[in-house]
Structure formats: structure tokens, C-alpha cells
Amino acid sequence: MAANGRGPIVVTLILLIAVVVAGFGWWWNVLGPGARIRRDAQRAVDEAKSSSGEAGEGSGSAVVERFEPTSIAPNDAGFVGTVACVDCHAERVREFVTTDHFRTSRPLDPSRFDAPGGPATGQLPTSDPHVAFRIDLIDGVPHQQVRRTGEQPLDESAPLEIAIGAGNYDEDFFFWRGERLFQAPLVWYHPDRFWCNAPGFVDGEVDFRRQVLPRCLECHATYAEPLAGSVNAYRKESIGWGIGCERCHGPAAEHVSTASSRSGRSRDAGDRDAGRAVARAVDRPVRPMPRQRDGPPDRSVLVSPRRCRDRSLPSRSLRSARR
């Protein structure tokens, strides 16, 4: 009798658990993060296709160019850039360019500013009444500007040229001074749509000197070639922005060369040679860039990985500047 009495209870519990799981799945896919991820991915694909003027297999290259405008310049490491994968793997690349990995860094698109879902321009106060930032478009290029009044007046600005972050949470910005790469002091926080100090930057202070070291690009780029004599100078055309195919599969120059030489041979033989090239690349550890040992960085602006990953807490005055 006891066993028979427990039967309906067990069935009821199983049905209840199934309803809860199904409800959570519905929320995740319809109202929660799953829906947002799919919308963002589809929007990225639609924008890329519209920029090429067509859809289908032939649009693969245009999709890549929407996020990675240039190939990686020839280099001794053998990196060639995701653009080189399009001819044979257009469909896979079309999917990949919508991922957060691929969009983790990219040349900044100025048209995103003041557009729906993009960063906003405007004036931003700080905890220091003498220091205020302004985000503005100057000749169509987004700039972070700062003005300090009082005993030590200062006007300084920097163009925002590289976006760091896939656009889900905070989005950082890099800028060039010659061949040297620096980080701008403010980040755009997407969930609540407001600007705040970047991790490690102190609210109310003015600092456009933070160097972007190779260890930063090791996480946010596919490849970069440092220049001797400085810890934050790079050959610009060598940088493969975003986490591309080669960060997992290894440098693809040999694979691309083998795949391109298939004419006049059987496809099976070409596939076998290409497969061996990829296998050799995967077996090798991927080093995104040569180690730079030509001098210590400026310790006043060196940021440890722990601080780099810290959540930046904006001041009260910056919170009041939400859009």
C-alpha cells in the first residue's frame, strides 16, 4: 500500500520538474540571454550580407570584411587571417564572424556612435569638479576628450580606433600614436548604457598613457607583430583583430598554400595534404606574437591581468550621466 501511495507522488514530482525545466528553457530562448544572443548573431549576419549587396555563397568574403577589413600581412609566423579561409569555408566563416570570440576586437565603426545599441556621445562629469570628459565625433571620428581646469589646466583627446569587447558588457577602446598602441580611459557599459572609467583607471584622473602590451593582444587578437625598441609598438597591418580560426587551428599559411595547389590533382589528394598541414599546425603550440624583450614597460601604467579583469565601478557622478 505504501509503495502504491508513493507512485502518484513520484509521478507528480517528475511532471513538476519537467514543467520547471521546460519553463526555464522557454524563458532562456524567448525572453532571456538565448534570445539576445540569437538576435545579435542574426543582426550581424544581416548587416554583413546587406553590406555586400547579396546573400549566398558568394557573400562569404564580404561578411568577413565587415568584421575583419584586411588580411594579416605576410609574417614569419605563418598567420594569414580569417579572410584566407573564405574561398573553401565560406559557410563556416559566415557563422563564425557572428561569435563573441571573433568580435572580441575589431577596427571601430564610427557609425555605431549614437546609433541604436551603440555608444552615446555627450559630456561626462567625474568626481573631481575640475575634470570632465566628453565623447564627441570630430570629422566623423569618435574621440574621448578631457578638460581639466584650475591650477593645472589641461586639454587632451584621443581618437577611438579599435574596439575591444564583443558588445555584450563593457566595451574598451584603443588608439594609435604613430606605431604605439594605447588604451583610452573610458569604457562604454552596454547593459545600462553609460560611460565609466576603464578597469584600473582612477575616476577623476587624466591618463592617456596606458600602453597596450603584447599580453593584452594575446587574449584579444589572433596575431600581432611587435616592433623592436618599444613594448607597445606594432606593425599595424600585421594585426589580426578578433580571435580568428588560426588561434585554435594554428598558422594557416601552409594549409592555404596546399589547398590552393589542388588544380591538376585529385581533390582527395589535395584534401589529404591540406588535412596533414592543419594537423601539423594544431600540434604546434600557437604563439600569437613574438615575445618582446627590448626594454621594460613604464611601470606607472602597467596593469596586471588581475586588474585587467576587475569589474570597473563607476563613480556616482558617472552613474548620473546615464543615457
Residue where the block lists cell 572580441: 104
Q: pLDDT (tens digit, 9 = 90+) per residue, 218-233? A: 889 999 999 988 999 9
Outline where 53-142 has alpha helix (H): 60-67, 86-96
Mean pLDDT (the chain, rounded): 74
Average pLDDT value for residue range 100-128: 88
With 70 as the cut, is the pLDDT of residue 187 above it? yes
Average pLDDT value for residue range 69-84: 79
The percent of residues above 70 in pLDDT, for the chain, comes to 66
Task: From residue 209, give the alpha-carbon distance in Å to each of 135, 167, 174, 184, 234.
Answer: 18, 24, 11, 8, 16
241 or 49: which leads in pLDDT: 241
Q: Domain residues of the chain, as ranges? A: 72-251+286-323
Average pLDDT value for residue range 80-94: 86
Question: Could you count the other beta carbons within 10 Å of the beta carbon of residue 101?
Answer: 14
Instruction: Give the range among 18-27, 121-130, 238-247 with minimum mean pLDDT.
Output: 18-27
- Supply the pTM of this predicted model: 0.66
Average pLDDT value for residue range 81-98: 86
What is the per-residue pLDDT for 40?
57
With 60 as the cut, is the pLDDT of residue 139 above it? yes
Q: pLDDT (tens digit, 9 = 90+) per residue, 298-308? A: 333 333 333 34
What is the per-residue pLDDT for 262?
64
What is the per-residue pLDDT for 133?
93
> DSSP secondary structure string, 74-92?
P-TT----GGGGHHHHHHH
With 90 as the cut, is the pLDDT of residue 263 above it? no
Band of pLDDT at residue 90, cut at 50, 70 and 90: confident
Long-range contacts of 124-128 (CB under 8 A, 24+ apart): 124/186, 124/195, 124/318, 124/321, 125/317, 125/318, 125/320, 125/321, 126/203, 126/204, 126/315, 126/317, 126/318, 127/203, 127/204, 127/315, 127/316, 127/317, 128/203, 128/204, 128/205
118 or 211: which leads in pLDDT: 211
